[in-house]
Structure 1
Amino acid sequence: MDSYGKTFREIRKQKNLTLQYIAKDIMSVSMISKFERDESDVTLSRIIPLLNRMNVTLEEFLYTHNEFKKSEFREKLSLVIKAYHQSNVTIIRKIIEEEEEKFTKTEITDFRMNSLMFEAILSDLTGEPLAQESIDLVVNSLWSLEVWGEYEVTIYGNMIKVLNIESVILLSKEIFKKSKRYARLMSHRADIYGIIFNTIIVCLEKKKIEEATIFLSEVKNSNIPEKFIYERLLFKYLEGLLEITKGNIKNGYDLTDEVIRIFTFTESNSNVTIYTRYLNEFIQKRNSLRPE
């Protein structure tokens, strides 16, 4: 579907709205009619008020226009993640090659960043290290930006495991500031929490107790919305891991066991498996003894 006007008309018709109603105090009926017939364009400053009149967000409009598909970047990321869980190295390598080829042809940096992110995911699967030059490219690129949107947050979130601990701490300390502009977008905020939680886990694994404590405090001070039940539970789980790391074994287990119990009660079986296994691995690495 190439015509934005046709998409606009489709949504308007589905909502049983007349051109007269949509146009009132925004622009002429004839101009909207021409737009719907693909005879003229409408500027962004005009189309947003028109969409607001229909109670449709720009994101919903573009999603409809793209025939209810994710963006190409999101589609490829979904394929890579699926291949990762299936241990399908071939598919991931193919997608990396496609992004590299696009970068070679266009010299558009995003394609290079995409391929490096996919290489990082592949590295976690195969154990093959990512070249330091590639890691430095991503870190320097992210650090140079004043504002991080969904794209930059996604790149960083999937690169954390291949970065050294110093880079992770440095970038994660900046993330609330760099993404402040989009803080009210709930999906974006959830992504930020995911990155900070991963940062805390990395800090705990590297025995960076002070840094892990600081990041947990920042999350607590951010007032996790009540609707973010999963994030609130994971926050408590990480508090438990921190307590265990500090030597407060009983307090730590009380917190982590309560979170796993809630996952069990709500039949979140995959979460029960993931967090029980990780807790056991976490303890084994520290040679800690579980109290009776």
Structure 2
Amino acid sequence: MKTYGELIRELRIKKGIAQKNLYENIMSKSYAIRFEQGKHEISFYLIHSILNRLGMEVDEFLYIYNGYTEPKIEQFYSEYSLKGNANDIEGLKAMRNLYTRSPMTYQNQLWIAELNARIDQLTYFNQYGEFSKQAITAESLQTIHHYLDQIQTWTLNELRFFANTLDFIEYERKSEYFKSILPALDRYQNFQRGHPVICTLLINEIHEFIMANELAMADLFLVKLDAFSNTIETMFYRNAHLYYKGMLLIASGEPDLGRPLVKEAIQLYESLGYHHQAQLADTFFKNLLQR
């Protein structure tokens, strides 16, 4: 594998940037030569300064450095989300088998617990037509709770883990987690790459609030979802905002206003090919109407 310096040299040459122009006031000519030869390492601060002159984000640089592949954590959640949203239980089991055969690091244990919980949940849903926390094994829940209980600072990785395990956790315990999470959300308002993670978290919590008849809290989080889903990149989450806006109206005693919004959102899911998402949304809608 190339060193950072060797990759920067390759990118610099392809961009037609002279070595002097790239490294001036950052490092000496002799040090720059040895850095580009892979014989010196430098601090992250200096790498960041160099990438600014190259006109490149750190995320893209690392993506290229890793052979145009996402980091392992991004690969996991991309595949997990794709298979989970498609109700692909066999695909989730294949993922679990892969991580079970890998070295049993703490991160792999967490991912296996997530996969087991989602497999249990979807299996129960396919059989009975509803989600149930009781379908998830105590072992998986214990691993998930232990990790969440240890968190002191909520970064995107922790927020994403919580978003994906939110519906496995009892309401009272979840409320405690949210007290420490809320301040972290606003700090990511201007970090566009984190918006899908936060939107997922907000959607899952809005759903829980509506089903628990905590309508004031659902409305509060719907406002936050509105703020985090206002770009083209978050269009999927914008449709979820439409859906839960309608669901909240129904739960608030205004079904004639809410029904058209919910049905429009479900139809959009179908039109865009999110058939399992449409099925879930329709199931929750009917459950709310019955209640």
TM range (shorter): 0.7 to 0.9
Determine which of 166, 172, 192 is the counterpart of 2:172: 166
- Answering whether residue 246 of structure 2 is matched by residue 243 of structure 1, we say no
Q: Deviations over 1:75-121 (max 9, x none)?
A: 2344445555432154133134135x422xxxxx3333222222222
Work out whether residues 237 and 256 of structure 1, in 8 Å CA contact, stay in contact via their aligned partners in 2: yes
Change (3 A) 1:276 1:40: closer
Determine which of 181, 184, 203 is the counterpart of 1:175: 181
Q: Which has the higher contact order (CA 8 A, sep 6+)?
A: 2
Number of residues of Structure 1 aligned to a counterpart in Structure 2: 278
Q: How does 1:20-169 map to 2 (within 5 A)?
A: 20-81=20-81, 84=84, 85=86, 86-88=88-90, 90-98=93-101, 101-103=103-105, 109-127=106-124, 129-132=135-138, 134-169=140-175
TM-score when normalising by structure 1: 0.81
Q: What amino acid is the match of 1:160? A: L
Query: 2:23 and 2:16 mapped to 1: Cα distance?
Result: 14
Q: What is the match of residue 106 of structure 1?
A: none
Q: What amino acid is the match of 2:165? A: M
Q: What is the match of residue 270 of structure 1?
A: 273
Change (3 A) 1:260 1:120: closer
Structure 1 unmatched runs, 5+ = 104-108
Q: What amino acid is the match of 1:71? A: P
User: How far 1:179 sits from its partner (Å)?
Assistant: 4.4
Determine which of 225, 247, 262 is the counterpart of 2:230: 225
Work out whether residues 195 and 228 of structure 2, in 8 Å CA contact, stay in contact via their aligned partners in 1: no
Change (3 A) 1:3 1:206: same
Q: What amino acid is the match of 2:286? A: Q
Change (3 A) 1:213 1:80: closer
Query: 1:23 and 1:6 mapped to 2: Cα distance?
Result: 14
Work out whether residues 51 and 57 of structure 1, in 8 Å CA contact, stay in contact via their aligned partners in 2: yes
Change (3 A) 1:95 1:122: farther
User: How far 1:48 sits from its partner (Å)?
Assistant: 0.9
Determine which of 253, 256, 261 is the counterpart of 2:259: 253
Structure 2 unmatched runs, 5+ = 125-133
Determine which of 208, 222, 225 is the counterpart of 1:202: 208
Q: What amino acid is the match of 1:35? A: F
Change (3 A) 1:194 1:60: same
SS in 1 for 2:196: helix
Note the aligned Cα RMSD (angstroms): 2.9
Change (3 A) 1:146 1:277: same
245-254 or 136-145, which moves further after superposition?
136-145
SS in 1 for 2:27: coil
Query: 1:30 and 1:132 mapped to 2: Cα distance?
Result: 60
Query: 2:98 and 2:145 mapped to 1: Cα distance?
Result: 22
